[in-house]
Amino acid sequence: MANQEQLALLQQGVNLWNEWHRTHPMQNDLSGADLSALDLRRIYLNDADLSGVNLNKTDLKDADLRKAILFEANLIATNLYKANLSEAYLSEADLSEANLCEAFLSEAILSEAILVEADLSRANLRKAVLWLAHLREANLSEADLTGADLSEANLRDALLNLANLTGANLHQTDLTGASLRWTNLTRANFSQANLSEANLNLANLKDTNLTQANLSKAILSLAELCGADLSGANLAGVNLIGADLSGANLKGANLTEADLIGANLADVNLDGADLTGANLNGANLQRADLTHTVIERADLREADITTATLPFGWQPAR
């Protein structure tokens, strides 16, 4: 329950509130208050209890919300442009269509938060917790998600172009149809994630964990996948034209009808993989391990298979 004296003070304006806040920084309780559609630009609410507060369509541009408690808060269509929410607690908050462009959310807790169609472009989300968050059609372009936890989150059709997800955890995350062009995914964990029909053109997936991930019909043309672990992954119908997969682990992967024209597969482990109907025209397979690999109807014209370990008894089509 909001402190009524504090609520009355806030309603007198941001300047008066900020003056009072400077001498009472740890005693702010506005929980459950209706602050919708107010102009609260540059307000100081760091460490405040704002759980259950209604901030629908409120203008919080440049606001200081560091370590604020916003559990189950209504932040639908709220303007949080360049707001500082570092270490804030936003679990189960509704931020649908909110403007979080260039906001600071490092180490913020956003588990099970609703961020459908929210604008998080260029936001700082380093080490943020977004476990089970709803980010469908959210804009995370150029956002910094280094070390963030996005496990089991819903990112269907989200925009992550040019974002930085180095070391991020996306275990079992749904990225169906998402756009991750030019995105840095180095050492990220995508184990059992769904990336079907996602666009990862020119993405950096060096040393990334994609074990048992679903990448069917995804676009990975010219992507960097050196040393990536794709064992057991579903890559049926994937576009890997010109991709660099050197040293990657594709053991037991499904690559049926995959397009690998001109791809670099040097030193790749394809043991037990299925390349039925795959197009490997002009691919580099030097020193690749194709032991027990299914390569029926695969197009290996102009592919470099010198020094590759091929299935026993296999002969190239003449």
Residue with tokens 């929410």: 85
User: What CA–CA distance (Å, rounded) separates 313 from 281?
Assistant: 21
Question: Is 2's pLDDT higher than 80?
Answer: no
- pLDDT value of residue 297: 92
Give the pLDDT band of residue 306 (cuts 50, 70, 90): confident
- pLDDT value of residue 281: 96
- pLDDT value of residue 317: 58
Average pLDDT over residues 131-137: 99
> Tell me: the pLDDT tens digits for 39-62?
999 999 999 999 999 999 999 999
Give the pLDDT band of residue 27 (cuts 50, 70, 90): confident
Domain with 251 in it:
200-318
- pLDDT value of residue 3: 87
Average pLDDT over residues 122-134: 99
- Supply φ then ψ for residue 21, to 5 degrees: -60, -35
Average pLDDT over residues 256-271: 97
Report the CATH number that the domain containing residue 238 is assigned in CATH: 2.160.20.80
**Number of compact structural domains in the chain:** 1
Question: Is 205's pLDDT higher than 80?
Answer: yes
In a domain, 100, yes or no: no
In a domain, 66, yes or no: no
Of the CA atoms within 13 Å of residue 238, those in its CB half-sphere come to 32
Which CA distances in Å does 45 have to 18, 92, 270?
9, 19, 55
DSSP code of residue 18: H
Burial (CB < 10 A; 0-12, 13-18, 19+), residue 304, is middle
Check: pTM over 0.85? Answer yes or no.
Answer: yes
Residue with tokens 């504090």: 6
User: What CA–CA distance (Å, rounded) separates 154 from 260?
Assistant: 29
- Under DSSP, is residue 214 helix (H, G, I), strand (E, B) or coil? strand
In a domain, 269, yes or no: yes
- 2 with 32: CB under 8 angstroms? yes
> Tell me: the pLDDT tens digits for 56-90?
999 999 999 999 999 999 999 999 999 999 999 99
- pLDDT value of residue 313: 61
- pLDDT value of residue 318: 53
> Tell me: the pLDDT tens digits for 207-234?
999 999 999 999 999 999 999 999 999 9
- pLDDT value of residue 275: 96
In a domain, 262, yes or no: yes
In a domain, 211, yes or no: yes
In a domain, 301, yes or no: yes
Average pLDDT over residues 295-305: 91
- pLDDT value of residue 302: 92
In a domain, 183, yes or no: no
In a domain, 151, yes or no: no
Question: What is the average pLDDT value for the chain, to the nearest integer?
Answer: 96
User: What CA–CA distance (Å, rounded) separates 285 from 265?
Assistant: 5
User: What CA–CA distance (Å, rounded) separates 142 from 181?
Assistant: 10
Question: Is 284's pLDDT higher than 70?
Answer: yes
Give the pLDDT band of residue 25 (cuts 50, 70, 90): confident
